Chains A and B, each alone.
Chain A
């Protein structure tokens, strides 16, 4: 099953989702949707089959971004770029569990975001 050239944004902060969406749309990338929980992220990913997921580590609910990313990667095959405010070793170790496409640290500059997304979608 083919993936669409879209991006799914997963973050439990609306303002952050909006900011990221604006930056992507400014450079012509379609955002297929956004999710605030892991399960929502999984269902949206399975529904839209985006080529790329921008995944926050801290999500609402019991599961975190890695849990969602592992399922999405396994079931859909989307690439995942983690966006995290934390630099803690435990977090980093979890991120590294399943071949992340990239890691961006908050606050993310437009330049960083653009180059990371462009690389993932190329």
Chain B
């Protein structure tokens, strides 16, 4: 009989747990017995609970009664089998056939009992399957019993007892018990689910769950018993785990629409809700479940596989979130429809947290390694690279993909270097000691980079060395610096020796300085500020003054200054030292040996003691500028001579101007005297014509005076602008002769004229205007226009016109003889031509030659 094939198939739990259990280690029969006891204990409590519930509930519905009929019948079957076995044992032990009565009655009732059980049980596939098994197992038990009884009856009692001792019969009985419990649990479960509808059924569900659990346990035990003892023990161990997982740990049952029907004790510990709080609630609402994948996917998996595994986030009663590894198993009804669902949750929050922490730590470590300066790497026992940071990859010069799993022989370009490194690695892995060593890797063979490597053997969990970890720092620079330092040190020593050598004689720089001082083309001298003596003087300075340098050393510097300038030079120098200025530049005269003055530009710098600030040295640079200075002096002399001449000439000119003014003044004064004479003469005359003639003369004299007056007021005393002259002249003529109703207008281009042009022009205008004023306006009303224009060729157009009565006949008919003569004469004198138009008023146009300017 193949019990394994008949092993119960608890939905959802089977594959892992049982498979794992089959691989367990051997456990003694005591443990197995204990497990069986636990299983029976659970079963018994289940039965008690069921009965208590039955007694308490007194439910009237038929399904409840069916359950109890099923239980009663199944237990009756079990007890009759037990009775049969007891009878068999009694007969085998005593040989008394009376003991066989229970066996015989059991044999007679068995078929009927099973048939009755079939009637009250659920008509689903699983129940039928179990009933079939029970029937077969019962038949097998009866067969065993009848076989042994037959043997004993035929006198082979020992053979019969041997069969009993194989324990085969007991195993069959155990299997029957498992099937009976399973059957009962099954019936209870199915009916309970079908009746769920708001009533608190938890005690009954609890019974069902515990029953199912017990039956599963017993099934597991039965399976184990059928195997070798080791296998049984393994099963037991897994069952223990199973017990923890479901019964005491974190399981729930729920209906297809999510209503919790059973809430294990472990769930209360896990989520904080008591059974009362949980049962009847929707699990998603209670636990605020967050699914890793959309719920329809889970439901699809359940529909096809009957189970689903995954991690959920659910909420504890206190609001905290739990990550749980959840295992769901769907229980199908008789016709395969989805029924109740078993959910087992294991809190993996800590594990996940730990995992995340580990990942983070790992990440941190990796980052740290990556970011760490220097080269970090790990190799396995064979020297293959298993870890390399950026520095290591940079050293190797290849990406990780080309480095991973390869040895240094492949990774490093220099084979000799690689062999040495690998030899080092092997030594360290064999020796198991951390080593600090120098290695040469990278660069070229002759100029390899130097690394200070710390290499630590890497031990696996078993303590065996599985590789090594190395950290290398590039110390090439340090090495080079050390070498450079050595060179510098050597140089320093050499330099010190050199210094000592030089100090013993004269310092080289001093020598160079002296050479530069002596050989300079410019004069140089050092003076002692206290004594004023020359400390040293170079050849250029000495020769400038006609000496040799040795002759100047020790002499007082001031004695070389030109005697007349010594006092001023001394004062200048005292001021310079007192001022605190760094240097003094001046041009000064020195006295040469032959007593001639030498001009030089001397720049003196005062050196003070850094400590006391007292003057310690005067350094002078003396540039010979004598030639330049002499040239300058000559230039100055020439210039001043020139200036004197200019001054003289200016003075002479000024004197001439003065004389001119005086002449003009006297001319005017004399004209005033002439005017007085004419006035005196006029007083003595009675003849009107004579008086008029004198008046005319006075006008002409006035014109002459006005010319001199204009000249006197001009800046150059030689020329003046003709325009104001004409205005003043004509205004005076009008005042003297005209009435208020006669207007005179003057329009003149700006023109500078001299005495030679002005005198005849003034007289000419006087004659012409006087003529108009006398003759043109018998009514005493009209206007006279005078215009003077200058043509491009320099010639002058003078026009005197009036709007008076004009001339009847030829020109000048009405003018006095004198006036006419004067006009003609002056036009001629000025090389001019005159046209006269007397038709409408009078118009005299005179075209004059270009006036010459006074030289």
> What is the interface of chain A, defined by CB distance below 8 A to chain B?
13, 15-20, 22-23, 58, 85-88, 105-112, 115
Contact = CB atoms under 8 A, between A and B. Distances in A.
Contacts of A17: 676
B732 A112 contact: yes
B672 A85 contact: yes
A88 B732 CA distance: 23
A85 B679 contact: no
A73 to B, nearest CB: 24
B64 interface: no
Contact of A19 (B661, B680, B702, B704): B680
A19 B709 contact: no
A13 B673 CA distance: 8
Interface stretch (B153-161, B262-270, B662-670): B662-670
B677 A107 contact: no
A111 B735 contact: yes
Contacts of B665: 85-86
B275 to A, nearest CB: 136
Nearest to A108: B672
Contact of A107 (B668, B680, B682, B713): B668
Contact of A111 (B669, B713, B732): B732
B735 A112 contact: yes
B662 to A, nearest CB: 9
Contact of A87 (B675, B679, B709): B709
Given A86-B661, A86-B665, A19 B675 contact: yes
Interface string B669-713: 101111111111011000000000000001001101110010011
A109 B680 CA distance: 15
Contacts of B666: 85
B671 A106 contact: yes
B488 interface: no
B672 A18 contact: no
B63 to A, nearest CB: 152
Contacts of B712: 86-88
Contact of A20 (B676, B732, B735): B676
A108 B676 CA distance: 10
A16 B673 contact: yes
A94 to B, nearest CB: 15
Given A19-B672, A87-B712, A87-B713, A107 B679 contact: no
Interface of B: 661, 664-666, 668-669, 671-680, 682-683, 698, 701-702, 704-706, 709, 712-713, 732, 735-736
**Centre residue among A15, A22, A85, A86 by max chain B CB count within 10 A:** A85
Nearest to B664: A85
A86 to B, nearest CB: 5
Contact of B676 (A15, A58, A88, A111): A15
Contacts of B661: 86, 88
Given A15-B677, A86-B712, A87-B712, A106 B736 contact: no
B564 to A, nearest CB: 45
For the complex of A and B, the 7 pairs showing the least CB-CB separation, nearest first, are A19-B676, A111-B735, A107-B705, A15-B676, A85-B668, A15-B673, A106-B672
A107 B683 contact: no
**Centre residue among A13, A18, A106 by max chain B CB count within 10 A:** A106
A40 B222 CA distance: 178
B676 A106 contact: no
A25 to B, nearest CB: 9
Nearest to B680: A18
Contact of B671 (A22, A107, A112): A107
Contacts of A112: 732, 735
Nearest to B712: A87
Given A85-B669, A86-B661, A109-B732, A19 B701 contact: no
Contact of A16 (B669, B704, B705, B713): B669
A115 B732 CA distance: 12
Contacts of B713: 87
Given A107-B674, A112-B735, 13 more contacts: A13-B673, A15-B674, A15-B676, A19-B672, A19-B675, A19-B676, A19-B680, A20-B676, A87-B712, A107-B672, A107-B704, A108-B672, A110-B698
B742 to A, nearest CB: 14
Contact of B736 (A18, A20, A111): A111
A50 to B, nearest CB: 20
A118 B592 CA distance: 85
